Structure 1
Amino acid sequence: MNAQHDALNVEALADTHEVFNQSGDLQDYNAYDTDNALREAVRRHGAGWAEPALSAHGARTGSAEVIEWGFLANENKPQFFSHDRHGYRVDEVKYHPAYHNLMALGLESGIHSAPWTDPKPGAHVARAARSYLQAQAEAGHGCPLTMTFAAVPSIRLTPSLAEEWLPKILNNGYDPRNVPHYEKQSLTIGMGMTEKQGGSDVRANTTRAYAIGAGGPGEAYELIGHKWFTSAPMCDAFLVLAQTDDGLSCFLVPRWRPDGSKNPIQVQRLKNKVGNVSNASSEIELRGALGWMVGEEGRGVPAIIEMVAMTRFDCMIGSSAGQRQAVAQAVNHASGRAAFGKTLIDQPLMRNVLADLQLEVEGSLAIAMRMGEALDNTALDSDNEHEQLLLRLGLPAGKYWICKRTPFHAYEAMECLGGNGAIEEFMMARLYREAPINAIWEGSGNVQALDMLRALAKTPKVLDVWFTELGRAAGADSRLDQAVTALKGEFSDMADAEYRARDIVDRLSLTMQASQLVAAGNSAVAEAFIASRLGEHGDRNYGTLPRGLDLDTILQRADPWNE
């Protein structure tokens, strides 16, 4: 035997795995109190009164328990059961308890109801902030929360339906039981527009509605056809588009008939999606399904567009929330990890990347919360033309830009974590898979850009309103002034407007973000945003900020532990 080998302490040598130089989990933090950009936006846009409740919600959504619900809801996908064990058709989707916990948290906090039940200055802004916090814990369950919230203006178009349905829709509770709506005290609402052959062109829909009696608003019909995308198929009812003799109309279609029998809404399968996996999305067949007409016959698109406007706003909020959580994860990692003799967050190039990512969040939140204020202003004053027209252009422009920016933003934040960023046990992998969803749902990028052109063609005054809003920051920065002047020049010649639509909406969005950040008053943020987005450094990869910027201030705003 080798004497040197005999002298070795084999047991000590086998102890090779000491874990060090790893960042801790981002949990048990207050997602509201540590988010200066959000807190300032809430105060700036009239919802300062909501801060105590938002702080409480931020503590809840940042807790280890709620964050774990998000992981469990995604690791345990919804399961579809077409029939029960005896062979009866049930069309039931079963979810993990964590999903129900998230739904209860959102509904009991009034994310679906607060601006409708207690309209006041800042109500939509406060609700958007609460949704922004909720979405950072888990995004998929936000779909039925949003649809339930957004359905209210459409259902109000028909007083008989509103009287029966809205008290339960607006109740701050959650009842996931698979029972008729009249046996519940709280309800959720979905929507069914998209069909195989039409996609975003809903006027190509072939689903047909037949009047059972006299027909007309609030009256009963039976629907026959299909829907290619119906998310959250366990909602208690759905707003559905179908053709009548007078054209495309809107209907409220419950999962159960008033006599207690199952309404023939048959789920064909669940979609196997790249992201948003906690939220079931289905293909359905309507085989004589009972529904009641919402709004006027032949006016289905105007009726449901009330809902679509709100869901597009929530896409802006949801994608902004994804950006915020991605930055928080990246900064948390960079603060607890060292390489080449320095903590990552002290490395100059990493600081450049992280600050640039935070600037994206600042711009996204700025335009989104300005639209939230516009929703409040129009809700309280239906004659406020400026705010109405600002929304008409701001919702498609904001939805387009924020949702388009989020996938690349998520990837860059993921890269900050290195290999850990691509591992499913870390939240970044889920944020990355979630990032493209909002850009596609509620109208893809081209649809938003073309909707912007429709707004310009139908109501040219929307452009005057947009430039009036931008004019409030005039003179603050010459680069912003030059960008606004150049943007005005784009509208002097509308030849090939459809071909150029994306470039135009890019500029509309960027100049609005910059002007809102100037108005917000943080000179470090506004200067860095304008220098990197509108100056000569614009249109580059993240991490290419010019020299001379106040990165300390920006990174402090990005830090999820900064109270």
Structure 2
Amino acid sequence: MSFIQSAPQLGDPYRDDRVLRSWLARVLPEAHLRTVEPDFVALAEYAQRAYARQTTTTPTEPVLVNWDVWGRRVDRIELTEAWREGPSIAAWYGLVADGHDRSLGEYARVQQFAKVYLYHAASAFYSCPLAMTDGVATVLRDAPNSALRGRILPHLLSRDPATFWISGQWMTENAGGSDVGDSEATARRDADGSWRLNGRKWFTSAINAEFALALARPEGNHIGADGLALFGIETRHADGSWNGITIDRFKDKLGTRELPTAEIHLHGTRAELVGDTRHGVRAIAPVLQVTRLWNAFGSLSTIQRCLALTRDYARRRKAFGKPLSEQPLFADTMAGREAEFEAAFHLAMEVALLLGRVESGSGDERDAALQRLLTPLAKLWVCTLGVHVASETVEAFGGIGYLEDSGIPLLLRDAQVFPIWEGAGNVQALDF
């Protein structure tokens, strides 16, 4: 009978994670951990179910339907199963709300990012709009436009799937990526005082979001970053039609294939000014302090998934008379990756703890300075490490790791996005 190699199995992402559990036990008060631990357990169980689904079903991608059968422009988006589940998971477990829950004190961000860490690898990158939603909520929390804040923020922080919204951040245009000062989108103020945006946004992730922050240049403002203003957009009208938005196409990306990323045009899109008519880049900057940390934790989640699958496979796969896990060179390589992972984990979690202290008011100036300094460093190093570990995971699985239906190449393709999102390596170095 021909040989059949047993496939790797995903253990319990919470109970089996010594690094996560020991860190939480050391940092969180015992009563706090006891209260939130059921959520950690439930998210880990969801991750196991999602992995089982991934390994037994054909991969799917979102579909953009520009026109209906009668010739009407509809730009309808058909999402994958994981994305249809996303709003409920996010709301029930407070994946955004926890970070803004003042009753959690300095541990709000630790609790939140521990959940993000457990959820991301199972999310099919629904974590991407959650990161943006968190960042946008941070901006709106202190926004001068109190009416906008009062109307939108409760949706972004809702724990009810029926009222929960996600948000996008529309900055990238054809002329510039990180150089947002080159933005060409314009803003015109109508006679009734309302604003209308016109232009093209070249890379808009989670185009299905109910809300977005966008940069545009009010007519008459000078060229450059300081001439941009920050606007809030409710993406649809009350009847469900798009608010002056047309979706040109979905991006054909290397990875993150379940994430609907689009090129769009704004045609008189109704928008509200978040602050003043200038300094929009400065106004949206707090988003980056949050989303960069989400990137670090998304990469950590990917690394942990890679290591968990490799460990399990190494016990199942025999070579030269014994399991891979007992081969000295293999064990040495794994030990190196495990050590790097633990260092990355502690760095990211310490930044999360610092952010929680700063936002809760329990931190001092040193905490604020460290948090500002370490955020781009964590994003840079952890996300670069994620690509390296994912690549070595493909190598560890050998020939089968190179086959798409093993699911292993997906880890590498998806990991590659993290060093790019929210500023590539050199941008992080400049911010650091």
What TM-score, normalized by structure 1, do the two folds share? 0.71
Q: How many angstroms apart in 2 are the aligned matches of 1:407 and 1:326? A: 11
The aligned residue for residue 170 of structure 2 is 192
- Equivalent in the alignment of 2:202: 228
Structure 2 spans left out of the alignment, 5+ residues? 222-226
Find the aligned partners of 2:239 and 2:272 in 1 and give their Cα distance. 15
Q: Secondary structure at the match of 1:210?
A: strand
Matched position secondary structure for 1:292: strand
Matched, 1:112 2:128: no
| Whole-Å separation in 2 of the counterparts to 1:104 and 1:73 | 22
Number of residue pairs the alignment of both structures matches: 420
Which residue does 1:174 correspond to in 2?
161
Hey, what does 1:238 align to over in structure 2? 212
Alignment map for 1:252-267 (pairs within 5 Å): 252-257=232-237, 261-267=241-247
1:355-401 deviations in whole A, cap 9, x for unaligned?
Answer: 11111210111110000001110011177211111121111111111
Structure 1 residue 213 displacement after superposition: 4.7
Which of these residues, 309, 318, 335, is aligned with residue 355 of structure 1? 335
User: Any conservation in 1 of the 2:47–2:119 contact (CA below 8 Å)?
Assistant: no
Question: How far off its partner does 1:58 sit?
Answer: 4.4
Q: 1:169: Cα distance to partner?
A: 1.7
| Structure-2 separation of matches of 1:160 and 1:319 | 36
Q: 1:408-487 counterparts in 2 under 5 A?
A: 408-452=388-432
**Aligned-pair CA distance for 1:73:** 9.1
Residue aligning to 1:474: none
The structure-2 alpha-carbon separation of the partners of 1:348 and 1:167, relative to structure 1 and needing over 3 Å to count, comes to same
- Specify the alignment match of 1:206 in structure 2: 184
Report the CA distance between 1:122 and its aligned residue: 1.2
Per the TM alignment, residue 337 of structure 1 is displaced from its structure 2 partner at its CA by 1.5
CA–CA distance in 2 between the matches of 1:71 and 1:110?
Answer: 27
3-state SS of 2:105 partner: coil
Aligned-partner residue type, residue 332 of structure 1? D
Cα 1:415–1:313 change in 2 (3 A) is same
Task: Give the corresponding residue for 2:8.
Answer: 25
Q: Which runs of 5+ in 1 are unaligned?
A: 1-15, 176-184, 453-563
Tell me what 2:224 maps to. Answer: none
**Rg bigger for which structure?**
1
Q: Given residue 205 of structure 1, which amino acid in structure 2 is its aligned partner? A: S
**Any idea what SS the aligned residue of 1:82 has?**
strand
SS of 2:254's partner is coil
Question: Is the 2:64–2:75 contact (alpha carbons within 8 Å) kept by the matching residues of 1?
Answer: yes
CA-to-partner distance for each residue in 1:267-308, whole Å, 9 max, x for gaps? 111001010111011011001001111122212112211112
**Structure-1 residue corresponding to 2:281:** 301
1:104 alignment partner AA: S
Task: Give distance in 2, aligned partners of 1:193 and 1:331.
Answer: 40
Q: 2:135 aligns with which of 124, 139, 150?
A: 150
Q: Aligned match of 1:61 in 46, 56, 68?
A: 46
Secondary structure of the residue aligned to 2:230 is strand
**What is the Cα deviation at residue 98 of structure 1?**
3.3
Tell me the distance in 2 between the aligned counterparts of 1:421 and 1:47: 41
CA RMSD of aligned residues (A): 2.1
Partners of 1:78 and 1:279 within 8 A in 2: yes
Specify the code of the residue in structure 1 equivalent to 2:215.
L
Instruction: Tell me the distance in 1 between the aligned counterparts of 2:123 and 2:179.
Output: 30
C-alpha separation in 2, matches of 1:85 and 1:146: 36
Tell whether the 8 Å contact from 1:61 to 1:137 is kept in structure 2 after alignment: yes
Q: Where does residue 366 of structure 2 map in the other structure?
A: 386
Greater shift in the superposed pair: 149-158 or 234-243: 149-158
Residues 186-195 or 69-78, more deviating? 69-78
Indicate how the Cα distance of structure 1 residues 383 and 358 shifts in structure 2: closer, same or farther if over 3 A, else same: closer
Q: Which residue of 2 aligns with 1:35?
A: 17
The one-letter code of the counterpart of 2:95 is I
Distance 1:411 1:433 in 2: 9
Distance 1:276 1:148 in 2: 18
After the TM superposition, which of the residue ranges 199-208 and 153-162 deviates more from structure 2?
A: 153-162
Equivalence for 1:396 = 376
Given the two structures, how large is their TM-score scaled by the length of structure 2? 0.92
Q: Alpha-carbon deviation of 1:310?
A: 0.6
1:263 shift after superposition = 0.8
Determine the C-alpha separation between the residues in 2 that align with 1:425 and 1:413: 15
State how 1:314-353 maps to structure 2 within 5 Å: 314-353=294-333
State whether structure 2 residue 97 is matched by structure 1 residue 97. no
